[in-house]
Structure 1
Amino acid sequence: MRFGYSNTCLEHDPGPRHPETPDRLRAIREGLKRKHGVEYVEADPASFETIAGVHDRSYLEDVREFCADGGGNWDPDTTAVEETWDAVRMSAGLACWAADRALDGDDGRETPFSIGRPPGHHAIYDDAMGFCFVNNVAVAAQWALDADAYDVDRVAIVDWDVHHGNGTQDIFYDREDVFVVSVHEAGLYPGTGAVEETGAGDGEGTTMNVPMPAGAADSGYVAAFERAIVPALEGYDPDLVLVSAGFDAHRHDPISRIRLTSEAYALLTDRIRSLATSVDAGLGFVLEGGYGLEVLAECVALVHETFDGRDPLGPDDEVNEKVTELLEEVVAVHGLE
């Protein structure tokens, strides 16, 4: 794969006890050192105007001034330093780079993966939360829709971070040109993402939430993709698929109670890759969460290896009853039966 990366993203440092540390990117790069075919690309930072395509301008000006004044605690979870604004712009720019390369035809071993930080999927239209100031994947989706170089009518965003992608949902909830899917742990921060949240107005039916019960494992996630997510997105027929790729649903991540193995991320990558091929869409990845450094590095490496020719190993567990009941509900709500 080709990884979008910049040392600028290391300069955002929320402090030694904060889980969203610059060491996350260092761990990923260390884990990829011995992998074949890894390439790093530094993109241009996103402009204020590009970011304002999905965020309130006065909010962005407040963030910029907050960082210029030295930063601090925006809220109990979301912390900035003076360098954070530059990192925010770079992280959004790297996500736009991933969308650009995907639309330009980069696939297979050149599939783009943006490993910027801070992450973005909790940032709503006019506020920061959950470690996130700017919604990187939303910026990239809007950039793709607006880009004169490409004829993009519909974008799909698939968020497999263990936390609900509330910010992405918030930004596109009443729009039909972006289909937002979030598969996450039910009841976990920020407490949103119920099955019944399916969009509003023109966007009715273009939001899908799959709130997994605690303890769900590889087979449950694969079943969610095969029974609900892939069929829904095949019907939607997007021109671009962006993955909000968080890795904190891993069984060894300190934040969640989902029980995915590292191999699950290879399996989900394979399903997403097949989807993008079947609908002839570009495919790009944008880093979100993942706070166990060793497993974060391992999972990103497995995503890379899936595009480098490694065949994922199928899950060896059964889909539990609670997951089966959930998927029946999701399928019924979205008319996929």
Structure 2
Amino acid sequence: MRFGYNETCLEHDTGPRHPETADRLRAIRRGLAKRHGVEYVEAAPAEKSTVAAVHEDAYVDEFHDFCRSGGGNWDPDTVAVEQSWVAALASAGLAEWAARTALDGDDGRDTPFSLGRPPGHHAVEDDAMGFCFFNNAAVAAQAVIDDGLAERVAIFDWDVHHGNGTQDIFYDRDDVFYASIHEDGLYPGTGELEETGESGAEGTTLNVPLRAGAGDADYVYSFEEAIAPAVERFDPDLFIVSAGFDAHRHDPISRMRVSTEGYAMLTAHVRKLCDDTDAAIAFVLEGGYGLDTLSEGVAIVHETFDGRHAMEPDEDPADKNIDLIDDVRDVHGLGSK
């Protein structure tokens, strides 16, 4: 894979006890150093106007002023320093690079993966939250739509937390499809099955709120039986994966049971879906707070695109999750299994 990376992202200093630290990127780099075929690209930061295409001007200016004044706690969880402004622009720019290069034809072993921080999927139009300031995946999707490079973009969020910001930004848009598999009831408490879009965009938001303890089989089943057919119907030009790795069974802040191999399974199914629909594919880093499991997760995605064959789940999905997917399929008019 080709990894977008910018040292500026290390300068976003959240302090010694915060889970979202620069050590996350350092751990990923160490893990990838052991792998074959890794290439790094330093992409340009996003323009302020590009970020403002999905965020309100007043909020963007407020965040800029906040950083120029030295930063601090935006809220109890979301921290900034002076350099967080340029780091956030760099992170958004890396996501934009990934989307553009995917649409330019980078695929297979050249598939782009942006390794930016701060992450983005909780950032809403007019506010920062959940460690996020600019919604990187949303910035990328909007940029390629605005430039006429794509008419329809799908965003699949496998982070353990629901990407409320991404959902909110595109909730009334029929040209962006947002799908999320997340832990039900976990921060920020959004992402209900019944949330499907509004104002002519009904059906372009799909949520799978799995109960705590879901593992590889539950995630693969959810993707294959609900998300894949909905994406096929939407027929996107670009498929962005908001790739958080905090659903890993050893991540310190979630209760899910996805294995490292489970991320390989998801990656293989995503790649097949994009092959079947002729959609370009790009990855954008979100969460993941166990340094070893985060680096293993990113590395297994790379290895899957580098030719490694993913296993299939060695167990069946839980009955309660089969029932949940039946409900998702019913709500979205996909029929029952």
State if a TM-score over 0.5 links the two structures.
Answer: yes
The sequence identity of aligned pairs, in percent, is 65
Superposed displacement of residue 325, structure 1: 1.1
In the TM superposition, 1:35-74 aligns within 5 A as: 35-74=35-74
TM normalised by structure 2 equals 0.99
- Misfit runs of 4+, over 4 Å: none
What secondary structure sits across from 2:82 in the alignment?
coil
1:237 aligns with 235
1:205 equivalent in alignment to 2:198: no
2:281 aligns with 283
How far, CA to CA, are the matches of 1:270 and 1:236 in structure 2?
A: 20
1:109 equivalent in alignment to 2:109: yes
What secondary structure sits across from 2:283 in the alignment?
strand
How far, CA to CA, are the matches of 2:200 and 2:100 in structure 1?
A: 26
Matching residue's letter, 2:242:
S
Matching residue's letter, 2:291:
L
How far, CA to CA, are the matches of 1:202 and 1:286 in structure 2?
A: 28
What secondary structure sits across from 2:77 in the alignment?
coil
In the TM superposition, 1:144-223 aligns within 5 A as: 144-148=144-148, 150=149, 152-223=150-221
What secondary structure sits across from 1:203 in the alignment?
coil
Matching residue's letter, 1:211:
P
What secondary structure sits across from 1:241 in the alignment?
strand
2:309 aligns with 311
Superposed displacement of residue 275, structure 1: 1.0
Superposed displacement of residue 195, structure 1: 0.2
How far, CA to CA, are the matches of 1:318 and 1:13 in structure 2?
A: 42
1:264 aligns with 262
Any gaps of 5 or more consecutive residues in structure 2? none
How far, CA to CA, are the matches of 1:74 and 1:322 in structure 2?
A: 38
Q: 1:298 aligns with which of 277, 296, 299?
A: 296
1:142 aligns with 142
Matching residue's letter, 1:323:
N
CA RMSD of aligned residues (A): 0.6
1:325 aligns with 323
1:7 aligns with 7
How far, CA to CA, are the matches of 1:318 and 1:232 in structure 2?
A: 22
How far, CA to CA, are the matches of 1:3 and 1:194 in structure 2?
A: 33
How far, CA to CA, are the matches of 1:144 and 1:16 in structure 2?
A: 37
1:247 aligns with 245
1:89-131 per-residue CA deviation (whole Å, 9 max, x = no partner) reads 0000000000011000000000000000000000000000000
Q: 1:226 aligns with which of 221, 224, 227?
A: 224
Superposed displacement of residue 147, structure 1: 1.4
How far, CA to CA, are the matches of 1:295 and 1:169 in structure 2?
A: 26
